[in-house]
A = this chain, B = another copy of it.
Amino acid sequence: MTGETLQIGLAGLGTVGTGVYETLCRNHDLLEARTQIPFAVKRVAVRSLARKRDVEIDPALLTDNWQELVDDPEIDIIIELIGGTEEAYRLVKAALLAHKPVVTGNKALLAEFGSELFQLSAETTTPLYFEASCGGGIPIIQSLQNSLVCNYVRRITGIINGTSNYILSSMERKGMTYEDALAAAQRKGYAEADPTLDVNGWDAAHKALILAMLAYGTPVSTENISVYGIDRITATDFRFAKELGYNIKLLVVIRHHADKDALELRVQPSFVSRKHLLSSVYGVFNAIAVHGDIVGETIFYGRGAGKNPTASAVIGDVMLAMRECRHPENHSGFHPYTKRLKVLPQEETVTPYYVRFLVQDRPGVIAVIAAELAKYDIGISGTMSSPRKGGDGGEGTCDLVFLLHACPWGKLCEALRALHVHESINPHPAVFRIETLNEEA
C-alpha cells in the first residue's frame, strides 16, 4: 500500500449508486490489493435523508447537500450518479473547479454539456471520467482512449440500448408483438414505466454522440443526427428478415467518409446479416463493433445497463482516478483528434434497403413499383411476396418486399413519394436499411 487513504465522495444512491457503494464495500480488499491504494467512501449525498434504502449504510455518511462533498478538503474524488442534467451539471462543474476529479455515467449530461465540461476539465487539469456513460459494463471508452489509440476509426456500429434489444429479441425469438414485448420488458424491470427515450432511439443517440466525439473529436449536435425508434416494427418484417438471412437490430452507425471529410451518424432499426456477430446479440446485452485502420474489426460485448454492470464501469474509472489523482498533469488525458468533419445529411447516406409494401393483390403492382424505382435509377436485387394469403392489410392485400441496391436515402424517399399516387399501394411502406458490416476473416 502506498500513501494516505484516498477519500471518495459519492453523489447519488439510486440503482447504480447503490451498486457502486455495495461493490466498493464488498470487494474492498480485492480493489486495495490490485491497486495498492488504500481508499474509503467518506461521504454520500442523497436527495432525501428520510428515504428507506435497500443498502446498509452508516447514516453518518449521508448528507442531502452535495455541495458538502465539493467543499470537503479531504475528499479527493467525486462520483456523480444523481442523474438528470441541470443539477448534475452544477455538481460536476463545481467539483472540477475545486480540482476534484469526477467520475460520471451520465450520458444525457454529456450530450447536453459535454463540450463545456471537457473544456473545463482541460482548463483545470482535472480529469473527467465517463466509462459508464456508454455500454454499461463494456470498457468501450477506455479502449478507444488507450488500447486503440493509434487507430483512425473507420466505423463504429453498435447495439447500445439494452431495453430495445430486449424487446426486439422477444419479437424475433418468441414472435411477440411490439406491445407485448414492451410490456414483458417492463414486467422484468428492463424497461421504465416511461420507455420513450429507450424505444425512440434517443438513449442510443446520446451514447453515439459520445462515441463520435471520442473517435473523431467532432461535436455533433442532436439536430444533426438521424434517429428512428423501434415502435413501428412488425412480426411480418421479422419473418421476412429471417427468410432473407437477416435479423433486425436497433443500430447506431458512425462512419467516416474520408473522401467527403464527412461523418455519417444515424440510429435506426436495421437489417443485420445473420453471419455477423451483432445479429446474435440478444436480450439486454450490448455490443459495439469498432473498425480501426490498424486493428481491423473489434467487438466489445456485455451487459449494457443495470446496477452491477454499470457499477463495474464506474469503479474502473474511480480506480483510474485514484492512480492518477496524485499527478493530475500525468492524467491519461485523451484529446480527441479533430479534423473538422461535417455531418453528412441523412439524404446523402447510402445503403441497400428492404422495403415492404402493402398492396392490393392484383396483377401489375410489381410492374408499377419497378417502373417507378427505375425512373429514380434505383436497382432491384430481389423481390418476394408473403407466402400466406392476405398481407398485414387483410384479405385481398399482399406484402410485397423489394430488396434494393445501395442508393442515397433522399433518392429512395423521392421514389416512395412518387408511388403515393397509386391507389393499390399503401403509402406507408416499411423501410429498413441493410447494413454492410462484414469483414472477411
Contacts and interface: CB of A to CB of B under 8 A. Distances in A.
Contacts of A98: none
Given A143-B147, A282-B441, A320-B332, 7 more contacts: A33-B337, A35-B334, A36-B335, A131-B147, A137-B295, A277-B301, A295-B302
A312 B151 contact: yes
A297 B285 CA distance: 9
A312 B280 contact: no
Contacts of A19: 294
A22 to B, nearest CB: 9
Contacts of A150: 23-24, 27, 30-31, 311-312, 315-316, 319
A49 interface: no
A143 B149 contact: no
Contacts of A303: 295-298
A104 to B, nearest CB: 15
A326 B327 CA distance: 10
B335 A312 contact: no
Most buried by B among A147, A149, A302, A440: A147
Interface string A78-112: 00000000000000000000000000000000000
Contacts of A149: 31, 34-35, 315-316, 319
Contacts of A2: 329
Contacts of A332: 320, 323-324, 332
A346 interface: no
A295 B309 contact: yes
Interface residues of A, number: 71
Most buried by B among A285, A316, A333: A316
A386 interface: no
Contacts of A337: 30, 33-34
Interface of A: 2, 19, 23-24, 27, 30-31, 33-36, 131, 137-139, 142-143, 146-152, 166, 169, 277, 280-285, 287, 292-303, 308-309, 311-313, 315-316, 319-320, 323-324, 326-327, 329-338, 440-441
Given A283-B441, A337-B34, A142 B147 contact: yes
Contact of A309 (B146, B296, B319, B324): B296
Contacts of A284: 441
B34 A336 contact: yes
A317 to B, nearest CB: 8
Most buried by B among A293, A295, A313, A331: A295
B440 A312 contact: no
